[in-house]
Chain A
Amino acid sequence: KQEVTQIPAALSVPEGENLVLNCSFTDSAIYNLQWFRQDPGKGLTSLLLIQSSQREQTSGRLNASLDKSSGRSTLYIAASQPGDSATYLCAVERSGNTPLVFGKGTRPSVIA
C-alpha cells in the first residue's frame, strides 16, 4: 500500500529565504506526482505535476524534483514571500486514472 509522508509538518523561514519542502513515498512504481497548495479553510490548488519519466518541473518561483528510485520529491520555492504561507501537499498516482494518495502536508510560515 502506497504511503506518502511529508516532514516536517510545519516550519518557519524569514522572508527572502528559499523554501524546501520534502515528500517521500514508499512505492516507487508511480505514474505521476503532484504538488498542491491549500490555504486555511479552502480547497486545494494544483501547482505542479511531474510525470514518472520526468526529473523536475518548474513554474515561476516553484521547482519540483522527482527521484523515483529513492521515493522522494522536493518542492523548492525561491525567494519566499509572506503570501507563500499555506499548506503544501504532495500526492502520488499509482497508474493512470487511479486516485491520488496524499500526504498530510507541510505548512511553512514566511515571516516578514
Chain B
Amino acid sequence: DAMVIQNPRYQVTQFGKPVTLSCSQTLNHNVMYWYQQKSSQAPKLLFHYYDKDFNNEADTPDNFQSRRPNTSFCFLDIRSPGLGDAAMYLCATSRGGRGSGANVLTFGAGSRLTVL
C-alpha cells in the first residue's frame, strides 16, 4: 500500500494559470518535503515542514508556496507557472527526531507538471 500519495500524477497547465499539487501520508511522519526535479538533474529541495515549522530554501522562487493544514497533508501551490517550472515534483516524508531510521526518506511517486 502506498504510504505517500501524490495527486495528480500528471498535471498540464497553461502559462500563468495557478496549480496546486497535493501530498498525503499515512506514516504519521513529522517531516514533509517538497522537491523539484528536472530531467537528469538532482532533486532540488523547495521547502520542508518539521511538524508545523515551515522552512523555505533561500533560492526557492516566490512563485512557489506551501501549506500543511495537518500532519497528513501538504500542498504545493505554484501561483503563476512559467515554462521553466515544468518538472517532476516529489513529496517525501521522514520520521524526524533521533534514533535509527529517523532520517530515512519515503517518497511519493511524484507529480509531473507540464506548462504550455
B75 contacts partner chain A, Cβ-Cβ < 8 Å: no
**B42, A43: Cβ atoms closer than 8 Å:** no
CA distance A36 to B104 in the complex (A): 10
For this complex, into which size category does the number of interface residues on chain B fall?
Answer: 20 to 34
CB distance from A31 to the nearest CB of B (A): 8
Contact mask for chain A residues 40-75; partner B; CB cutoff 8 A; 1 contact, 0 none: 011111100100000000000000000000000000
Residue contact A43 to B110, C-beta cutoff 8 Å: yes
A70 to B107, CA, bound (A): 29
- Docked Cα-Cα span, A31 to B103, in Å, equals 10
- What is the CB-to-nearest-CB distance from B64 to chain A, in angstroms, rounded to a whole number? 15
Bound form: Cα–Cα A93–B88 in Å: 22
Question: Is A99 among interface residues, defined by CB-CB distance under 8 A?
Answer: yes
CB distance from B31 to the nearest CB of A (A): 7
A104 to B42, CA, bound (A): 4
- CB distance B104 to A41 under 8 Å? no
Question: Are A49 and B40 interface neighbours, CB within 8 A?
Answer: no
Inter-chain CA distance A36–B50, complex, in Å, is 22
B33–A99 touching, CB < 8 Å: yes
**How many of chain A's residues touch chain B, expressed as a range?**
20 to 34
Q: Does any Cβ of B come within 8 Å of A105's Cβ?
A: yes
Q: Is A19 part of the contact surface with B, judged by Cβ < 8 Å?
A: no
Residue of B whose beta carbon sits closest to that of A99: B45
**With contact pairs A89-B42, A99-B45, A105-B42 given, residues A45 and B103 touching in the complex (Cβ less than 8 Å):** no
Can you list 29 contacts pairing A with B, beta carbon distance less than 8 Å? A32-B103, A34-B103, A34-B104, A34-B105, A36-B107, A41-B110, A41-B112, A43-B107, A43-B109, A43-B110, A46-B104, A46-B106, A46-B107, A49-B101, A49-B103, A49-B104, A89-B43, A96-B98, A97-B31, A97-B96, A97-B97, A97-B102, A99-B48, A100-B105, A102-B43, A103-B42, A104-B40, A104-B41, A105-B42
